[in-house]
Chains A and B, each alone.
Chain A
Amino acid sequence: MNLVTNTSRLSTEYDSVVGRVFNIQRFSTQDGPGIRTTVFLKGCPLHCAWCHNPEGLSPQTSIAYSPDKCIECGECVAACLNGCHKIGEQSVLSPSHTYERRGCRTCGSCASVCPAGAMELIGRDVSVAEVLAEVLEDKPFYAHSGGGITLSGGEPLAQIDFAVALLKAARKEGLHCCVETSGHATWDRLCQLLPLVDLFLYDYKETDPERHRQYTGKTNEAILKNLHSLHDSGAQIQLNCPVIPGFNDRDDHLAGIAALTESLPRLRAVRLLQYHPLGSDKLKRLGLPLQPGALGKLNNETIERWLRVLRQRGIHALN
């Protein structure tokens, strides 16, 4: 991630607020209307079994290692104070460069010296000014497409001060603001975002509370309560519903989505997010175990059927 260090924008009182992000993705077209830049904040209170951004779960920094990019220069060996890196004789059983995560403090020293991008520090502390300078690179495209900035993650509400500061600075630049959220936070935090967000992309993962806890680590009562409060406060909300084979691709959950939508008359839309299995490569690079959710592949017909059912009930359903 090359952060912009020079900016011609006028500085604001929010510029120096710092947060931890793991990606700033330009040309996002699936995270709100138009062309957007999505800022992924690190750390999430949920741990969904099917999470597409597992690098965003922990608020701590982590290291991703891509052996295919390694050129065995040995810079990481010299940089690491914990002896986590070794470059030895290559054999059939073990690669020449070995990286031992157990003793790793995720300081990022190896990543900072790796010339080939094989070692990557996931999660950087950045200021609002730095992030916004990157976001503003694409401002002409937002203007012409109705796009803007989206906060995602991880969970933006988990870094509420940074999220608020970034959104305030973005609004000063006239940007359209979206926030993707699980809704699992105190109402107070959501209240702080309320006047700053043009559209909430609110996750609805599972109707049954016990299954919700099994799949995500938390029940859904607080999430639903916050959703209703947000709706009743006049917020613009799109419900994002991931459909995960073997987990929530059940008719009772579909009925739950429909019922919830009908209880929220001012909802902008319901969007069904088709699950695509997360590549094992990404998990390997992050040193994470394979997801149980990664084993299944959703049948396209399920999504089509769900869309038909929702639309027949007069619901504005998208995919």
Chain B
Amino acid sequence: MMSSTTLRKDRMPPDVSSLLEENGLAAGWTRSKKMPVAASEQKMSYTDRVEALRNAKRAQTFEKQLVRGSMDFDDHGIVLPPDGQYRVVHSMSGSGIEINDAILTTFIPSGNHPSGEFVGARACGENFRKLLEIHPVHIEPASSLAGAYMVNFMSYRKLTWNPDVDCSALLAEHERYHTIPVIGAVQHMCPDLAIGLRLGWGGLLEQVHRGALANPDAVDFYAGLVHVILGAQDWIRRHAETASRMVTEDSPLAENLAQIAEMNARLVTAAPRSFRDACQWILWYLLIARMYNGSGGLGKLDLLLQPFYDADSKAGSLTDEEATFHLACLLVRDTAYLQLGGPDQSGKDVTNRVSYLTLEAAHQLGIATNVGVAVGKDVDRNLLHRGVEILVEDRCGTPKFLGVDNTIAGFAANGFPVELARQRAYAGCHWSALPGREYACMDVVKFSFPAILDVSLREMMADGGVSPSVAELWDRFKLHLRSAIATAARGIDFHYEHMHQNFPELVIDLLCHGPLESGVDASHGGVEFYTFGVDGAGLATAADSLSAIEEQVERNRRLSWAELIKHLDSDWAGAEGEKARKLLLGSGRFGEGHSTGDEWAVRIATEFTLAVKEQPTPRGLMMIPGIFSWVLNIQLGKKLGATPNGRHAGERISHGANPDPGFRHDGAPTALAVAVAKVQCGYGNTSPMQMDIAPTYGDTAQNVAVLEALIRGHFELGGTQINMNVVNREQILEAHNDPSRFPDLVVRVTGFSAYFSSLSPELRQLVVDRLLCD
């Protein structure tokens, strides 16, 4: 808690000072809101309470599906606002795709731009604070933690970019190759939760004040930060007050509610003291970060919570059952990305008891979670074993598996010390970052390899001065690839220069090393490291296309170049078109094993890596390549015509680093693991392997053993991440036909997991088509 003697008011800029006046931490400032009460209040064991939370989650998910329709993204723990207080809008998510969203009608943002939009740190902070101040309270009495978020702040924005800074020409250049730009991207970096756990909201406010004093020119930035904190404190305080009012003598969860009230009254300003406090603090930050701009990175949760666990266990105030329960209450509220195990700075494995309890919490819940288990030569082998047991038993696509040895070595290959590389933490779909120190914008920039190939092919065919050939096509592809990368690099510099004027990080800034000290937003130079992740998408589509051209057009001369173009343009129309399509489909495929398709996939991945690492952006910012499409392979496919691998116009392009389905008629799991291991870029970004499998290798122990071997083998070959679904084949096919019959079916879609019934038919089809047949 801040005392006036710590401030030198005479040196404070006036408007920050007024905010401090407001921040008298007035007691009794309540907002009475009706909150949903979950489940029965019968006497409840922890098992009962987890069941109550799961039932509530199921109901909340169903409501969301009814109101928002398909949700082709992370499940998130967002709940619908109270009836009569929301309306549905079409907006852009924090991950850059268009979504249907429900927004509170009780909040109307104030614009500071003639367009009516709010831009820049002060306006974003002010509006976010107002949103937090009217945001309803959410307490489920069965939970040991309070809070849930109901809106995405970004859904109130009319424009994705500050109109005063024109980027239309740059965006048009990106569009030539269907490249998804970084301009306007948010979060996709990992906050350092250790800062918050050490300081609490009150301590953070003090840090902001100190920074404001040291950097008076950054008054708007600090004003924005102050607003965020004050809004957070108000929201938390209202939960404390509401919980206090909910305590009645005859409530069987009265003690729990009283604890929630007491704990949150403290956490308005104080740093957490206990394991439960820490879980609650982390949850508050996570909910606020999600609400602000979709950030969901937790990093090394087991390492963060270990001191609290050790202290409470030693004091006899925490049992493993209680700790697991608190973790479950955290995980049920949001599908944040977290890492368990892996080396610390010195190389020692950090796997501890909390690692296992987190797995157990996810296991008890059986919902969508994004728990990543580190796998490496020095990482506790039992952690992987337990993770695979849970994966096989629960069939929820959790956990996922992180090839830490390879991502650490890769990041170090950029020229960083290995001790630094070891500190990176898994915090998003397919990526890791240094907590609070690395602005990475991971999983944003996407290059469409098939679109680049199409531009190259058309250009070659239009050039009357050359004889078409595969060699000529490949040379042009390399040039256009570099052109696409150069455009994206200029986009990165533009984003770095101007994003803070649009929609600065603010919430993540609070848990970074640098922004509070320097007054500079993380997107604009406030942190130490800038490593923009750039991903290639549609690798298999491009590789199989080049293979088809090489085999059928050039080598076997079964199709001429002109005929190929004719059939592409007509989208394989007519009997001749269909014949040509089947001819090309029968060519060597990526994933088959030593086929022409495999050779091309390796060549493309290698060339892409080389091209990205050839030089930094014009400003000198680093880019690190990966191969990943998220769910954007559907969107990228919709805008692309037919491709020489036999794909129809508008169909999705290939997913991530995976071969296209049907790449092998048998032996697919190991062939897949070998193939994807060969297209790793290195440098600390990932090319995840997506494996969807219905294991029938024997009993459960045998299934676990086989999957463990697949995971270890893939990483031994160089793999960096594995997203795995263990499914019941008949069930997934039935669920695709009628998702409503399986409301609890959870799948790992790509890097994220979600309820199968929440996905659109197209995304469900993607999962079904990926299923490997033995």
Instruction: List chain A positions with a Cβ less than 8 A from chain B.
Output: 2-5, 25-30, 34-35, 37, 69, 71-73, 75, 115-117, 134, 137-138, 140-141, 143-145, 147
Q: Are A26 and B698 in contact (CB under 8 A)?
A: no
On chain B, the residues within 8 Å of A116 by CB distance are 582-583, 585-586
Q: Are B708 and A144 in contact (CB under 8 A)?
A: yes
The residue that B712 contacts in the complex, of A4, A25, A72, A140, with Cβ under 8 A, is: A140
Instruction: Give 6 new A-B contacts, CB below 8 A, not counting A35-B713, A72-B579, A138-B670.
Output: A26-B667, A26-B670, A27-B670, A73-B583, A137-B674, A144-B708
Q: In the bound complex, how far is the Cα of B716 from the Cα of A27, in angstroms?
A: 17
Task: Kindly state whether residue B705 has any CB partner on chain A within 8 Å.
Answer: yes
The residue that A115 contacts in the complex, of B558, B594, B673, B708, with Cβ under 8 A, is: B558
Q: Are A144 and B594 in contact (CB under 8 A)?
A: no
Give B138-170 as 1s and 0s: 1 = Cβ < 8 Å from A's Cβ atoms: 000000000000000000000000000000000
Q: Are B673 and A2 in contact (CB under 8 A)?
A: no
User: What are the 5 A-B residue pairs with the smallest beta carbon separation, nearest first?
Assistant: A26-B667, A145-B709, A140-B713, A144-B709, A141-B713
Q: Are B705 and A2 in contact (CB under 8 A)?
A: no
Q: In the bound complex, how far is the Cα of B595 from the Cα of A271, in angstroms?
A: 37
The residue that A29 contacts in the complex, of B556, B586, B706, B716, with Cβ under 8 A, is: B706
- What is the minimal beta-carbon distance from B705 to any residue of chain A, in angstroms? 6
Task: Kindly state whether residue B475 has any CB partner on chain A within 8 Å.
Answer: no
Q: Are B706 and A34 in contact (CB under 8 A)?
A: yes
What is the number of residues of chain B that contact chain A, defined by CB distance less than 8 Å? 35
Please name 23 pairs of A and B residues whose Cβ atoms are closer than 8 Å in the assembled complex, sorted by A: A2-B592, A3-B594, A5-B594, A26-B593, A29-B697, A29-B774, A35-B706, A35-B709, A69-B586, A115-B556, A115-B558, A116-B582, A116-B585, A117-B586, A134-B593, A137-B593, A137-B671, A137-B674, A138-B670, A141-B709, A141-B713, A144-B716, A145-B705
Given A25-B667, A35-B709, A138-B674, residue A115 in contact with residue B716 (CB < 8 A): no
Q: Are B670 and A141 in contact (CB under 8 A)?
A: yes
- What is the minimal beta-carbon distance from B541 to any residue of chain A, in angstroms? 20
Instruction: List chain B positions with a Cβ less than 8 A from chain A.
Output: 552, 556, 558, 579, 582-583, 585-588, 592-595, 666-671, 673-674, 697-698, 702, 705-706, 708-710, 712-713, 716-717, 774
On chain B, the residues within 8 Å of A30 by CB distance are 697
On chain A, the residues within 8 Å of B710 by CB distance are 35, 141
Q: In the bound complex, how far is the Cα of B670 from the Cα of A134, in angstroms?
A: 12
Residue picked from A2, A4, A5, A116, most chain B C-beta under 10 Å = A2
Closest Cβ neighbor of B674 among chain A residues: A137
Q: In the bound complex, how far is the Cα of B710 from the Cα of A198, in angstroms?
A: 22
Q: Are A147 and B579 in contact (CB under 8 A)?
A: no
Given A29-B706, A35-B709, A73-B579, residue A141 in contact with residue B667 (CB < 8 A): no
Closest Cβ neighbor of B714 among chain A residues: A140
- What is the minimal beta-carbon distance from A70 to any residue of chain B, in angstroms? 9
Q: Are B709 and A71 in contact (CB under 8 A)?
A: no
On chain B, the residues within 8 Å of A117 by CB distance are 586
Q: In the bound complex, how far is the Cα of B582 from the Cα of A117, in angstroms?
A: 10
Closest Cβ neighbor of A37 among chain B residues: B667
On chain B, the residues within 8 Å of A134 by CB distance are 593
- What is the minimal beta-carbon distance from A293 to any residue of chain B, in angstroms? 22
On chain B, the residues within 8 Å of A145 by CB distance are 705-706, 708-709
Q: In the bound complex, how far is the Cα of B579 from the Cα of A71, in angstroms?
A: 6
On chain B, the residues within 8 Å of A138 by CB distance are 670, 674, 713
Given A27-B667, A115-B556, A116-B582, residue A141 in contact with residue B697 (CB < 8 A): no
